[in-house]
């Protein structure tokens, strides 16, 4: 039986709001922060913490996507194509969880994150070149959105989709294995590999991570790991933070989001290396 005081619940809502704000701006679910907090501060077993994290990821994803889909920031076509392999990876990850040594997976993942972080940081230092594609869409995987920060309509077309789809499987597998949404992989893949503007990449990632989190959450729910009241308070906070964060995402400068994301990936990589040693 897990006992949490009223102040503890209040703290969960506030922390959830912070995670929701961060997640909606950067396209991640915040699992890398929620799981350690619940384990280290509230002494919640890791499986339960992962389950709570997955529930709050669904809340963030649904809230953010419900706004960004209409604004054209989240690309539903790109999202559904990548979700296909992401969902498959998510199931494979959840099934492999009991067979694969998690430490080796964590180590391999963290080593992969360093060049990604460096690449995103270097990209954020360069001046953003606004694509001036014609408004016609020759590829079904492309889109246009209005960016208030630059005051222009930005059009893009996704490149190297087969490779991105492959990485999406890997992102899904991480969701099942480690209880993450997978946004920490999806955003750099879409931004660096597919040349999708960071705001559209973050919004599309947020749109997708709900599916991988739901696929894993169903398995955790059936195993009885979901703690309903804690999940509610954390999700309540993330919902509030998500709606605040979306206003920020829409107005923020793209290069600042990229810098912030590269720092986040670096922190995640360091944390995972220590965890796997």
Q: Which residues bind other proteins (CB under 8 A)?
A: 55, 58-59, 61-63, 65-67, 69-70, 76-77, 80-81, 83-84, 87-88, 90-91, 94-95, 140, 210-211, 213-219, 221, 226, 228-229, 231-232, 235-236, 239
Nearest to other proteins of 183, 268 (CB atom): 183
Contacts of 144 by beta carbon, 8 Å cutoff, 6+ apart: 72, 135, 137, 153, 154, 155, 156
Strand segments (E) across the chain: 142-147, 152-157
Smallest distance, other proteins to C-beta of residue 144, A: 12
Nearest to other proteins of 164, 192 (CB atom): 164
Nearest to other proteins of 123, 199 (CB atom): 199
Q: Cα separations (Å) of 51 from 36, 63, 99?
A: 13, 19, 19
Helix (H) or strand (E) holding 228: helix 228-251
* Alpha-carbon dihedral angle through residues 83, 178, 248, 201, given to the nearest 10 degrees: -30
Nearest to other proteins of 63, 268 (CB atom): 63
Nearest to other proteins of 94, 192 (CB atom): 94
Smallest distance, other proteins to C-beta of residue 236, A: 8
Contact assessment for residue 20 and residue 236, using Cβ atoms and an 8 Å cutoff: no
The SS3 call for residue 98 is: coil
The SS3 call for residue 75 is: coil
Nearest to other proteins of 54, 265 (CB atom): 54
- The C-alpha atoms of residue 158 and residue 190 are separated, in whole angstroms, by 8
The token pair that represents 211 in the structure block: 């599916």
DSSP letters, 125-173, are HSPPPPP---S--SSSSEEEEEETTTTEEEEEE---HHHHHHHHHHHHH
Smallest distance, other proteins to C-beta of residue 142, A: 13
Nearest to other proteins of 120, 236 (CB atom): 236
Smallest distance, other proteins to C-beta of residue 189, A: 18
Contact assessment for residue 62 and residue 210, using Cβ atoms and an 8 Å cutoff: yes
The SS3 call for residue 179 is: coil
Smallest distance, other proteins to C-beta of residue 157, A: 16
Smallest distance, other proteins to C-beta of residue 222, A: 8
Smallest distance, other proteins to C-beta of residue 211, A: 5
């Amino acid at each position: 039986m897990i006992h949490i005081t009223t102040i503890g619940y209040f703290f969960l809502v506030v922390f959830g709001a912070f995670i929701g704000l961060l997640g909606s701006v950067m396209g991640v679910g915040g699992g890398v922060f929620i799981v350690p907090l619940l384990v280290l501060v509230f002494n919640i077993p890791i499986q339960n913490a992962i389950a709570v994290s997955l529930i709050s990821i669904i809340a963030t994803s649904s809230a953010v996507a419900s706004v960004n889909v209409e604004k054209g920031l989240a690309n539903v076509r790109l999202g559904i194509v990548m979700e296909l392999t992401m969902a498959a990876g998510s199931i494979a990850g959840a099934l492999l969880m009991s067979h694969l040594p998690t430490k080796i997976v964590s180590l391999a993942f963290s080593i992969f994150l360093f060049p990604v972080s460096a690449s995103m940081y270097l990209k954020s230092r360069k001046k953003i070149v606004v694509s001036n594609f014609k408004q016609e869409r020759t590829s079904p995987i492309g889109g246009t959105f209005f960016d208030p920060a630059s005051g222009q309509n930005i059009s893009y077309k996704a490149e190297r989709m087969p490779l991105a789809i492959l990485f999406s499987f890997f992102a899904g597998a991480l969701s099942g294995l480690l209880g993450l949404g997978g946004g920490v992989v999806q955003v750099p893949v879409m931004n660096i590999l597919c040349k999708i503007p960071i705001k559209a990449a973050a919004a599309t990632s947020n749109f997708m991570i709900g599916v991988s989190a739901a696929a894993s959450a169903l398995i955790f729910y059936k195993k009885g790991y979901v703690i309903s009241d804690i999940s509610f308070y954390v999700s309540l906070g993330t919902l509030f933070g998500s709606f605040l964060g979306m206003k920020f995402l829409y107005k923020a400068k793209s290069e600042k989001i990229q810098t912030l994301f590269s720092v986040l990936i670096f922190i995640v990589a360091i944390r995972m290396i220590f965890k796997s040693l």
